[in-house]
Each structure stands twice: as C-alpha cells, then as structure tokens.
Amino acid sequence: MESKRIAAEKAVESIKDGMIVGLGTGSTAYYAIQKIGQRVKDGLSVKAIATSKQSEELAIDLNIPMISFTELEEIDVTIDGADEVDGEWNLIKGGGGALLREKIVAAASKLLIVVVDESKVVPVLGRFPLPVEIVPFGFEMTVRKLKKLGAEPVIRREDHQIFVTDNGNYIADCHFESIPEPEKLHTMLNLIPGIVDHGLFIGMAGQVIVGSTDGSVRVLSK
C-alpha cells in the first residue's frame, strides 16, 4: 500500500489552482483524495467530481469543493487506479465496482493519470477478471452471451448478496485466460444488449505512474 500512496501523491503534484479534478475510486484513489484534501487545506483552489458515492463522501469529509456535470464542460485531470495496465496503456478497471462512472469521468477528462503499483503492470491483460456491468433484467441471458466470448463470468457478490453498483446494476467478473486483443474484445462486448459498460479502458490513459516497493516512483513511457 505504501507504493500506491507514494505514486498517488506524485500524481497529485499535477493539480494546479483553478482545475476541475476527477476523483477515482479504490485504494489508490483514496490516497490521492487524501493528498488533495491536504492541499486544499493548505490553500489549493479546485473543484472536484467523484466517480463513486464512496469517493464523494471522502472528498466532502476533507472539505474538497464538489461540482456536478451540469456545471462543467470538461475535467482538467482525473487521477484513478487500475487493476491492470499493459504496454500500450490499455487498462482493466472496475475491481472497486465503479467502472461505469470511472469511464464517464475519464472520457470527459483532458488528462487521465493512472496510478498503480508495479504488480499491476502486465505484458498482456487478463490475469485480473474483467468486470462487466450488466442490467439486472435478463442478466442470465447476458451471462450466457459472455460465455460465448470465451469468458467464465461470475456474478459479483458481497456479504452473500448480489453486489449492486451505484447505478443499480450487477457486475459479472469475467475470467479469461488472457486478453491479447483488448480492442477487439472491447467492440464485441459493446454489441451485447444488457451490457451497460465494461472495465476495458482503451487509449484513455494519458500518463501512468508506477509505485515500487522500494519507495521509488516512475512514469511509464510507451
């Protein structure tokens, strides 16, 4: 966790006065939000939009001014984590269950900074199960269609109940042996009715910052 904290705090250095900032979700984003809160306390003037209720509540607790999409045209920078990142900066996200809102915010951002520890950097995506957000209606049929793509989908559960996203949907965690062609899978998933969105983020990352266990931080280049 220390490597994530160091990398997240490095990413926060990119935030300047007057910016609109996207706040990610998950353990890495937690450290970034904490650091932004500290900088706001020290006089930084920003407004933020969160990718989950959890992140929004944390930001409010830290007195970070919040803004809604009705009040903005675009977001200057978003800082978020990832479950995997390959050499082309394609990502798997959604382990925290907020992939849809994360993708909406990322797509509205001038710059998406992805912060990970070194264990998340992989040659080929797919070791981490791909989260796919699906509507509850007819989800059994959607799961069958996911199986036809070569996945082993498992409906996510929490406390023995089906996990429900902030948007009222389910998540199918799809186990693939590997995802050597993420762009192709991205397109195929988008064609299945019942899928709201999925955790493949293709060509969205503008910067990747990696924290190492020795305390060092490096910015990846393609």
Residues annotated as catalytic are 102
The DSSP code sequence of 165-216 is -TTS-EEEEEE-S-BS-HHHHHHHHHTSTTEEEESEE-S--SEEEEE-TTS-
The DSSP code sequence of 75-116 is EEEEEEE-SEE-TT--EE--TTS-HHHHHHHHHTEEEEEEEE
Which residue do the tokens 């993708």 mark?
Answer: 103
Give the burial class of 155: count Cβ atoms within 10 A of its Cβ; 0-12 exposed, 13-18 middle, 19 or more buried: middle
H-helix or E-strand spanning residue 33:
helix 27-41
